[in-house]
Amino acid sequence: MSSNVTAVSYGVNLSLPEVEQLRRSLTGAGLAVGAENTTGDGRFSVYTADCTLPDAVTAADLAELRRSIAAIEGVDTAVVPAALRRAPRKFLIMDVDSTLIQQEVIELLAAYAGKREEVTAVTEAAMRGELDFAQSLHARVAVLAGLPADVVDSVRAEVTLSNGAAELVAAFKAAGHAVAVVSGGFNQILRPIAEDLGLDHWIANELEISDGALTGKVVGDVVDRAAKEKYLREWAAAEGIPMEHTIAVGDGANDLDMLGAAGIGVAFNAKPAVRAVADAAINMPYLDAVRHIAGV
């Protein structure tokens, strides 16, 4: 039996020669290209092609196809199961820092302690997968000890959503899909963002506050790589949505389990180690490109 997929290509400047090159790559891999569509909104262009995979194509072949198409400079392509794009209800789960929002909150907090450069170096190593996330988080939060609790309000005012984030969430919600975020950041920052966006599920770490000051500790278990996958599975099940109809988006090593478990995992302006294993990558600053991948 044939398997159907949709190739979704997107780029800031997606030219006709690039579209033709994409079509050749698809047909060269043995795919039958059906309906095609090209659209754009002035920020980026999108080319979609409904394709039929021959029976002989394996998961390894599909991975190789993704790699070969990814070689086209300035264009990213997601090869998405058509069943996911047609699903009546989908579940979108996203990382927060450097994905839903443009900043890394721990770095903004550390700036108030005069430790931003030190903490940034640790954050980057953790996101590359060079450090255990939970241990690195405890070490980074420790430098915040003694800061007045109202720095949380100051940092919250510095946070900005990624370009297209609000539009992405609104589109999914309007279509009846579920949207969640799971973060290695902090509830004190995430709570108002999640409420404003009307997210169905959200969770992050809780900064411990005592006598009006940060203690340099977090309350309870750290939301780490394993926890992100756990919440994806739990929340999708609670929504009655099968895992093959889920979309996960993130940028760092602590997102890898979540990206791998989802129906399709999307690396958003991600570290090289994440881009190398994700099903798709978005290498432009527009989070709502996820809409086109998911068919929303």
Catalytic residue annotation: 95, 97
Starting at the edge strand that comes first in sequence, how are the strands of the sheet with 213-219 ordered? 213-219, 201-210, 178-186, 91-94, 246-250, 264-268, 280-282
Containing 42, the helix (H) or strand (E) segment is none
Q: Which residue type occupies 103?
A: Q
Q: Please check whether residue 214 is in contact with residue 186, taking contact to mean a CB–CB distance below 8 angstroms.
A: no
Closest CA to 242 of 254, 233, 253, 250: 233
Residue 126 φ/ψ region, left for φ over 0, alpha for ψ in the -120 to 50 degree band, beta for the rest: alpha
Spatial distance between the Cα atoms of 60 and 219, rounded to a whole number of angstroms:
42
- Residues in contact with 244: Cβ distance below 8 Å, sequence separation at least 6, in sequence order: 81, 83, 84, 263
Containing 186, the helix (H) or strand (E) segment is strand 178-186
